[in-house]
Amino acid sequence: MSEDNTNQPPSNESRPAFEKAGMQDTDMHNVHDQLMREKDEPAEGFSPIPIFLIFVFAGLCFWGGVYFIENSGDFRWDVYDPEYDALAAAPPRPEISLFDRGAKVFRSQCAQCHQANGQGVPGAFPTLVASKWVTGSEERLARILVNGLNGPIIVAGAKYNGNMPAFGPNGLNLKAKDIAGVLTYIRQEWGNEAPEVSIEAMEAYANDYGPRAAPWTADELLADFPLEQ
Amino acid sequence: MNASATDNARQPSIPYTTEITSQRAELSEIDQSIRSASLFFTVSAVIWLLLGTVFALIAAIKMHNPEFLAGFEAATFGRVRSAHLNAVALGWSNNVIYGLCLWIMARLCRSPIRHGGLLIIAGVFWNLGVSLGIFGILRGDLTSVEWLEVPVYATPLLAISYILIGVWGIIAFRFRRGDHVYVSQWYFLAGLFWFPWIYVVAVLMILWAPAQGVVQSVVNWWFGHNALGLWYTPMALGAAYYLIPKVLGRPIYSYYLSVLGFWSLALFYNWAGIHHIIGGPVPVWLVSAGIVASVMMVVPVVVVGINHHLSIVGLHKEGWRSPTIRFVVFGAINYTLVSLIGSAMSLRDVNLITHFTHFTVGHAHHGVYAFFTMIMFGGIYYMMPRMLHREWPSAKLIQIHFWASGIGILIMVIALQVGGWYQGLAMNNAEIPFLEIVQNTLPWLKARSVSGVLITIGHFAFAINFFWMLFAAGAVRAKSGPTLLVSTSGKEAAG
């Protein structure tokens, strides 16, 4: 760019400051003294940017992006702590009771056959209301859920003949806490009054009976756990 | 400061060709057009520099001898410290920028300053504003906002007179000749826009119509840091970009590095101020953005450092002889140092130690003095002979100025930063009683006062030389040839 300064033809424009002759000869001499020893007005070379700098700067940009996101406090106006962890800070999901969980599971999995009011369908799907099968032995009830039930069964004096699918690991594979929930629900809803079924107990039953492939029959169950009076 | 001109300055090394004569005549015309205004600003700057130095010395001594001048209300630490800051920031720094950078701008734009008389009138109002501000601070009217201590009643005068001054640089740029816009012109043009923008926004949001709550502190440090980064820094870099090739007669190493350095400064600097309130009740993402931007400032700093270094390399001997280059190189080296230290200080782990200690005070002086002010000294040493058509009377005084100021500021930065680091470590230890920590800073604060005395000596050497040249006696008028610090034969060339 130095050409810009040096190779320019002399300008023909008038130079009022010089034509004014406002200076003495000695002053004029001094002007030349300081001005003429000056170097040219500055110019720039066009050397390329050293390549290693590009890598250094790319590294800096990468660090900057990572640091900013790591310490962004989720871009919230009310977060002042750089260690803020959006996941940890989220309020814990309220733990719902076994009964409420069971109610949900019942509506989605059981109510088609046993009906929302638990009365079932005469001849096919047994009632769950005022039934010793429901309020009686916990383990007998759990077996039905884990492996299912096949064939005739007498419930509350009425006879039913249908198929109950397995909800255990070999069947529809509900989680132990969902099964425990639904058992608790049917044992405490519609006027039934039986203790809840804990998740731990249900996990144990799922372990014990999970490997069994065949559904139970009513006779098999009654042989192990006679119906309560 | 041409090397070969020392033997007989009346036979310049450059042959008189028509192109060069015409070019130099043009420069002479431009110099003439801004001469009175530049001289006015530079003289004001030097007077404010001396006043600011005296305030600084009082404040420094009061840090370890509180009973010093205890009977004077105007000399209480809080007032005299703020008077120092505003005298050197608004009085010295702004005036010297107006004097030096408008002149360089006019030269690079090849555009004489029109109606220079109006510029002087605007300058008079600026200096009235600064005087009113300092007077108000000493009276006790100062605000509690760092960097904006000037009482509210002086701010409109400052804002308006600044705009009337800054517009001259923009007019010069508007009427520029030649196709190429040189890197110094970018920095000056940008700075001339940035400063009124940040100043007006800051006084508006903090003093005139205060924003609510922590927004004030965000604006405060956005302004405080940008005053350094988007005003003093670009003006000093622009001056260095002009002076280095001008004195050494060699082009700047790389246009591409200049572009990268300018735009990365423009992109990152204005985010960085928030690192002053790390740990404060400010949304953490804002602080993190400030930290990232502060670290990204490594880009413009390294780029400018390399560009300057490669423009000078190999000409150190010649540079050492020239007062201008000696000061400018000192400033340029310290620009790299202070900026890298600043980037490190913005990291949370480092800031945990340095925040609220003398380390920060050392850093501020490192930047504004060792970098900005030293480059401005270099610029004055270059400009004055061209303005007055005289030579500097005494090389000895320039030597004293350089060594006293250079060693003084290095002692100050080292004392405050080493002492501040220990102070910060101790303050993070709850076992150590606070008063013991204060006691332990005393030796470092005394060292700072010693450095202050050195710097004062340097400033008075500079002022004596300056006014000697200004009100030159016959002996000074008769002197010819540049005033160099080391002659080719090893002796002082001037005296």
Per-residue model confidence as pLDDT tens digits over A68-111: 999 998 888 888 888 888 777 777 777 788 888 888 888 888 88
Q: CATH number for the domain including B265?
A: 1.20.210.10
Which of helix, strand or coil describes residue A217? Answer: coil
Measured in angstroms, the CA of A90 and the nearest CA of chain B are apart by 17
Within 37-96 of A, beta carbons closer than 8 Å to B belong to: 37-50, 53, 56-57, 60-61, 63-64, 67-68, 71-82, 84
| Subunit contact A11:B302, Cβ cutoff 8 A | no
- Segment 168-187 of chain A within 8 Å of chain B by CB: none
Regarding whether B432 and B349 lie in a shared domain, the answer is yes
B174, B244: one domain: no
- What are the C-alpha distances in Å from A125 to residues A108, A119, A216, B274, B396? 16, 8, 15, 71, 113
Q: Could you tell me the two tokens for B400?
A: 């004293």
User: CA-CA distance, B59 to B81, in Å (whole number)?
Assistant: 5
Domains of chain B: total = 2
Would residue B383 count as lying in a domain? Answer: yes
Q: Does A24 touch chain B (CB under 8 A)?
A: no
B26-37 mean pLDDT: 91
pLDDT in tens, B178-221: 888 999 999 999 999 999 999 999 999 999 999 998 999 999 99
Rounded average pLDDT over B47-53: 98
The token pair at B254 is 């790389």
Q: B139-164 in b/e burial notation, b at 16+ Cβ within 10 A?
A: eebbbebebbbbbeebbebbbbbbee
User: What's residue B2's pLDDT?
Assistant: 43
Contact A68 B246 (CB under 8 A): no
Q: In terms of domains, do B175 and B258 share one?
A: no
The lowest-confidence range among A196-200, B240-244, B454-458, B491-495 is B491-495
**B15 inside domain:** no
pLDDT for A22: 47
Contacts of B31 (CB under 8 A, 6+ apart): B103, B107, B386, B387
**Chain B CB within 8 Å of residue A207 CB:** no
Q: Evaluate whether residue B201 is within a structural domain.
A: no
Residue B382 lies in a domain: yes
Domain termination site, one of B160, B179, B198:
B179
Query: Rounded distance, CA B360 to CA B358, Å?
Result: 5
Q: What's the topology of domain A98-224?
A: Cytochrome Bc1 Complex; Chain D, domain 2 (1.10.760)
Q: Choose from B2, B23, B184, B384 for mutation: most chain A CBs within 10 A.
A: B23
- Is the domain of B153 the same as that of B271? no
For residues B173 and B297, membership in a common domain is answered with no
CB-CB neighbors (< 8 A) of B29 in chain A = 15-18
Structure tokens at B489: 């034969």
* Domain membership flag for residue B471: yes
Q: Do A39 and B107 touch (CB under 8 A)?
A: no
Strand-pair partners of A159:
A154
pTM for this structure? 0.78
The distance of B343 to chain A (nearest Cα, Å) reads 12
Domain check: are B265 and B163 in the same one? no
Q: Mean of the pLDDT values across residues B359-372? A: 97
State whether residue A167 is helix, strand or coil: coil
In a domain? residue B223: no
Which residue, of B164, B179, B194, is where some domain finishes?
Answer: B179
Which residues lie closer than 8 Å to B57 by C-beta, 6 or more apart?
A: B449, B452, B453, B456
In this prediction, residue B491 carries a pLDDT of: 38
Residue B244 and residue B165 share a domain: no
B394-453 pLDDT, tens digit per residue, is 999 999 999 999 999 999 999 999 999 999 999 999 999 999 999 999 999 999 999 999
- Per the structure, the complete domain to which residue B66 belongs is given by 21-179
Residues B256 and B174 in one domain: no
Res. B295 pLDDT band, cuts 50 70 90? very high
- The confidence score (pLDDT) of residue A30 equals 53
Q: Give which of B380, B451, B376, B387 is closest to B416, Cα–Cα.
A: B451
The CA distance from B29 to B26, in Å, is 5
Residue of B nearest to A83 (CA): B284
- Please list every residue in chain B whose beta carbon sits closer than 8 Å to the beta carbon of residue A15: 25-26, 29
Cβ atoms within 10 Å of B277's Cβ, excluding its own: 18
Is the ipTM above a cut-off of 0.90? no
Give the three-class secondary structure for A23: coil
Residue B481 backbone zone (phi > 0: left; psi -120 to 50: alpha; other: beta):
left
Residue B6 lies in a domain: no
Q: Which of B7, B28, B259 has the most A C-beta neighbours within 10 Å, making it the best mutation to test the interface with A?
A: B28
Q: Does B332 fall in a domain? A: yes
> What CATH number has the domain bearing residue B45?
1.20.120
Q: Angle at Cα B368 formed by Cα B57 and Cα A61, nearest 5°?
A: 145
> Across the interface, which of A49, A72, A82 has its CB nearest the CB of B256?
A49
- Per-domain residue ranges for chain A? 51-89, 98-224
To test the contact with chain B by mutation, choose from A41, A75, A81 the residue with the greatest count of B C-beta atoms within 10 A, namely A41
